[in-house]
Amino acid sequence: MDTRVHDVLLVGGGGAGLRAAIAVAETNPGLSVAVVSKVYPMRSHTVSAEGGAAAVVRDEDSLEAHAYDTISGGDWLCDQDAVEAFVREATREMVQLEHWGCPWSRQPDGRIATRPFGGMKIERTWYAADKTGFHMLHALFQTTLRYPPIKRYDEFFVTRLLVDDGRCQGVVALEVATGKVQALLAKAVILCSGGGGKVFPFTTNANIKTGDGMAMAYQSGAPLKDMEFVQYHPTGLPFTGILITEAARAEGGWLLNKDGYRYLQDYDLGTPSPTPVKRSMELGPRDRLSQAFVAESKAGRAIPTPYGDVVHLDVRHLGEAVIDKKIPFVRELCLKYQKLDPVKEMIPVRPVVHYMMGGVATDLDGATPVAGLFAAGEVACVSINGANRLGSNSLTELLVFGARAGRAAARFAGAQPDPSSALVAQAADEERRLHRDFLGRTDGTERVADIRSEMQQAMEAGAGIYRDEESIQVAATKVAALRQRFRRVALQDSSRTFNTELVSALELSNLLDLAEVILASAAARRESRGAHQRTDFPERDDEGFLAHTMARQGEDGRPRIEFDPVTITTWPPGERVYGR
Amino acid sequence: MSDTVTMEVLRYRPEEETEPTYESFEVPVQPEWMILDGLNHIKDQLDGSLSYRWACRMGVCGSCGMLVNGRPVLTCATYMESLLPGPIRVEPLRGFPVIRDLVGDITDFMGKLAAVKPYIVREEEKPVEEGEYLQTPEELAEYKQYSMCINCMLCYSACPIYRIEPDFIGPAAIALAQRYNLDSRDEGAQERMDVLSQHAGIWGCTLVGECSEVCPKDVDPAGAIQRYKVSATVDFFKSVLMPWRKE
Amino acid sequence: MNPDYRPYHPKWFRRRVPIFWWLRQAAYVKFISRELTCLLVAYVAILLLVFVAAVDRGEASYLALVGWLSQPMVVAFHVAVLLGTLFHTVTWLNLAPMALVVKVGGRRVPARAILLGHYFAWVACTIAVAWALVGP
């Protein structure tokens, strides 16, 4: 067994992972830090984020206002101490990224420009045209090249965490190019591996978003928090699911039904005005907009297409100059993938799975209940997003909590003994398991692609924008059956070299874990809140469910749900008011 | 319109064979399908052992560059319909060692990228507490185009120099160096010049220009390199004619 | 099975670059033609020196050179040289906007204007030389 030892390991090389790596290197330059990622860092899904990143910068804005928008947007399920830390450190992190070269869009005098965003009362979304995630990721990645202690394992797929004596001390990773299994030992491990949108069939998420970190943490005894909250972004292109950024609406785009009517005014989201009004109409929160779409579609006022009903996003009135300056990527994506020009035509859009509010439960420093295991970014649930994340909070989140987790892990690692040698035996077991269950088996009958596709369909039907007891149970039964079938999975590819089918099978195993947890959490929450809408329990129930679901893997491998209290510091639960 | 098209895909399995071969698959054509959808159809329905990279499927992660009918393209952004009636030949990008099937090894580029110091270099860093560096929209526009590079490697694949002279730093890395040189916040141009004024740097480029032709993000690396040559030359003459001038 | 395969050390496949790689794509052919026609520019320069040397050696020498240049085969060759140098000049001038970033009043001069400037300068030079040779 090839074994490498580092002080701090990052699993995932997206925005959170790279920010955390720099934080480790700056906190303690003597530590050896390594970023392990199944793709090259610049391929990570942060690259696809478009609209912007929120941080208080304008004179008329305040930390309280940002916190209130975030908490009300999250339907009061956010932990308020986490939100307070988040808004407090957001601006500093964003300025830091500016110093690292991120090409933020500017005002004529050279200061940072901001734009409005959904659910935000004041303009506080920094942006780099509409490729904000792309520019942030590349700025972060290129900046890591300044730090010699940061080593990378590019295209290494982590298959499990190494936990000994209750402490996470490394990972087992498959070098995809050669097929070699390695033990990467460390005094602290930070998961930064993103969410798992690929549990669903129709998603803005990249093919690589398979919830690996969430599933591995769960298998290692860490609880997954609030996993029933899956965000549907209201404006994705049909068929591809490509995201049309909220910035299109923030700059003044309208959502129209088949009659050309701005239907959001019928859903308690305010009254239409020609120019955008914050926290109103098209700038309402994503959960409410996606739910309004479903109602509109049920009433027969959407436009049918071969890929499901759509409504229209109309930006034509903004004019070519504004579109090219503020949302050029929207135009590029429409021209390339929808064969239409938004300057002249309306964009067909429908809600699409976008983000997981839930994740590995952590404290404010990214520490999970498993010693030595940290998490930051979409994989984690701190939680600042509650039942519904506001657009442009996630990019900031990965900076703030990536940095916090990095610093905390560096301090933790500095005080730990070297990893135990018992772990190498665990890693050897894992290598044998990979061979036994996948590469070396000849009796399999099931195909990865079939199981994955059936799981995705079951999840969409059972745990989509609206759910109820029955739909959840049907999906749960289906997923349990798929889990059984997965035991008989057969790979057509038995080679070691760049075996993407093996990687897909391991990813599918993680996705199945996530699907189980999402369904179990959704079944346990018998109320409607934010992105979790139960038609059999349509009201929010603060008496019973102002609490986080915590899913732990039981002895039988099935999730067990408990509830943890929500931290309320300043803002008691109230009504979510938009547009009035 | 035909219902199916033949995709001739290059296969290379180093454990089994010493030379690549082509394998043909019949793939249905749908109006929305890109080359990548065709490959996914092959992998999910016909042969699970086909290996290739992909991630975002929206032309921004840079993973899925391949040679399609001899041209380097992003397979997620190339309609199958545009290449009918076929056959459509899919190969790994030229210029990179083939690891397996359609997967090339880009380790070389990763090293070259690091060598050109693609990050802000300053003598003195302003404390974060003092806020952002001011940069006007005009100053931003100076380098914005070069910051759009997604590292998809199409330019390297189109560059004959890179194939003949593997030491050549290459289009994307030089464009990214220029991206920082032109950034009003940066002071590292001289450090980068030390790397780029070598033979394997800008002077390796003989201006074939194909890198800019195939770039999916209009970065124009060929333009970046030529601009760099001009400023390197001007610098050289200034230092000869005005030796008293400060470096 | 590949007998050379050692577990976990697969051999990457490296394609050889064929000598005539540049024939595979029109853009590469154009590039190589542009590069090779620079030899013709050098030839014209040498020819000019030969003229100067001939004039220096006296009238007989000059007439002998003109006589040689008047042969049909040599004329045909020089027509080809002219076409080659024209090709070189045009393709070369067309690249100018790529390297030159000129700013007037904070705005970048468009590529087309830079291109026109170059062509204008070329035509002007040609006229000046013709005027010097032929006289007003």
Predicted local distance difference test score (pLDDT) of residue B2: 54
Decide if pLDDT at C136 tops 70.
Answer: no
Q: What is the largest CA-CA distance in chain B?
A: 73
Could B99 and C35 be called an inter-chain contact, meaning their C-beta atoms sit closer than 8 Å? no
**pLDDT tens for the 580 residues of chain A, in order:** 889 999 999 999 999 999 999 999 999 999 999 999 999 999 999 999 999 999 999 999 999 999 999 999 999 999 999 999 999 999 999 999 999 999 999 999 999 999 999 999 999 999 999 999 999 999 999 999 999 999 999 999 999 999 998 999 999 999 999 999 999 999 999 999 999 999 999 999 999 999 999 999 999 999 999 999 999 999 999 999 999 999 999 999 999 999 999 999 999 999 999 999 999 999 999 999 999 999 999 999 999 999 999 999 999 999 999 999 999 999 999 999 999 999 999 999 999 999 999 999 999 999 999 999 999 999 999 999 999 999 999 999 999 999 999 999 999 999 999 888 889 999 999 999 999 999 888 888 999 999 999 999 999 999 999 999 999 999 999 999 999 999 999 999 999 999 999 999 999 999 999 999 999 999 999 999 999 999 999 999 999 999 999 999 999 999 999 999 999 999 999 999 998 8
ipTM over 0.90: yes
Q: For residue B216, which residues of chain A lie inside 8 Å, CB to CB?
A: none
A249 catalytic residue (yes or no): yes
Q: How many CB pairs under 8 A join B and C?
A: 74
B37 and B137 share a domain? no
Q: Which residues of chain B have pLDDT under 50?
A: 1, 247
Closest CA to A468 of A531, A538, A534: A534
Q: Residue A443: CB partners within 8 Å, gap ≥ 6?
A: A488, A490
Domain count, chain B: 2
C41 and C59 share a domain? yes
Q: How many CB pairs under 8 A join A and B?
A: 166
C54 and C114 share a domain? no
B156 and B213 share a domain? yes
Whether a cis peptide bond, with omega within 30° of 0, leads into A328 is: no
C91 and C30 share a domain? yes
Q: For residue B99, which residues of chain C lie inside 8 Å, CB to CB?
A: 10, 12
Is B246 contained in some domain?
no
C116 and C56 share a domain? no
Domain final residue pick, B59, B75, B104: B104
pLDDT tens-place string over residues C66-106? 999 999 999 999 999 999 999 999 999 998 888 888 888 77
What is the number of alpha carbons within 13 Å of residue B48 lying toward its C-beta?
18
One-letter identity of residue A496: R
Its domain, for residue B92, covers 4-104
Give the chain C residue nearest A176 (alpha carbons): C8
A45 catalytic residue (yes or no): no
Mutate to test the interface with C, among B208, B213, B215 (most CBs of C within 10 A): B208
Q: Residue A129: CB partners within 8 Å, gap ≥ 6?
A: A105, A325, A326, A327, A328, A329
Chain A contact present for B127, CB below 8 A: no
Chain A contact present for C106, CB below 8 A: no
B89 and B123 share a domain? no
B114 and B83 share a domain? no
C112 and C92 share a domain? no
Predicted local distance difference test score (pLDDT) of residue B198: 87
Could A39 and B56 be called an inter-chain contact, meaning their C-beta atoms sit closer than 8 Å? no
Contact status, residue A418 vs residue A5, Cβ threshold 8 Å: yes
Residue in B16, B100, B138 nearest the CB of C1: B16
d(CA B120, CA B107): 23
Contact residues, B window 34-93, toward C, CB-based 8 Å cutoff: 70
C69 and C46 share a domain? yes
B28 and B137 share a domain? no
B117 and B231 share a domain? yes
Could B60 and A497 be called an inter-chain contact, meaning their C-beta atoms sit closer than 8 Å? no
C123 and C76 share a domain? no
Q: For residue C9, which residues of chain A lie inside 8 Å, CB to CB?
A: 178
d(CA A73, CA A577): 9
d(CA A564, CA B112): 50
Higher pLDDT, C58 or A397: A397
Domain final residue pick, B86, B104, B122: B104
C118 and C90 share a domain? no
Its domain, for residue C122, covers 100-136
Please tell me which chains touch C, using 3 or more CB pairs under 8 Å as the contact test: A, B
User: What stretches of B106-220 show up as alpha helix (H) in DSSP?
Assistant: 107-115, 137-144, 154-158, 160-164, 171-181, 189-196, 210-214
Instruction: Report the first-to-last Cα separation within chain B, whole angstroms.
Output: 64
Domain final residue pick, B87, B104, B121: B104
Which SS3 state, helix, strand or coil, does residue A498 take?
A: coil
Which SS3 state, helix, strand or coil, does residue B62 take?
A: coil
Could B132 and A104 be called an inter-chain contact, meaning their C-beta atoms sit closer than 8 Å? yes
A126: β partners: A53, A114
- Strands of the sheet with A188-191, listed across from one edge: A150-154, A33-37, A8-11, A188-191, A373-375
| Catalytic residue chosen out of the listed positions A45, A249, A350, A534 | A249
d(CA A131, CA A515): 30
Give the chain B residue nearest C35 (alpha carbons): B206
B140 and B218 share a domain? yes
Is C1 contained in some domain?
no
What is the number of alpha carbons within 13 Å of residue B222 lying toward its C-beta?
21
Closest CA to B146 of B66, B235, B53, B226: B226
Closest CA to A165 of A394, A345, A419, A408: A419
Contact status, residue A53 vs residue A24, Cβ threshold 8 Å: no
- Distances from the Cα of B97 to the Cαs of B53, B81, B103, B113, B173, in angstroms? 15, 30, 9, 18, 19
Band of residue C20 on the pLDDT scale cut at 50, 70, 90 = confident
Domain count, chain C: 2
Is C132 contained in some domain?
yes
d(CA A10, CA A375): 9
Contact status, residue B15 vs residue C5, Cβ threshold 8 Å: yes
Q: What whole-number percentage of chain C has pLDDT above 70?
A: 99
User: What stretches of A317-467 show up as alpha helix (H) in DSSP?
Assistant: 319-326, 328-333, 393-414, 422-434, 448-462
Q: For residue B94, which residues of chain C lie inside 8 Å, CB to CB?
A: 15
C106 and C86 share a domain? no
Is C6 contained in some domain?
no
Is C131 contained in some domain?
yes
| Catalytic residue chosen out of the listed positions A6, A19, A167, A233 | A233
Q: Which residue has the tokens 């596709």?
A: A453
Is C23 contained in some domain?
yes
CATH of the domain at B203: 1.10.1060.10
Q: For residue C7, which residues of chain A lie inside 8 Å, CB to CB?
A: 496
Closest CA to A221 of A469, A550, A442: A550
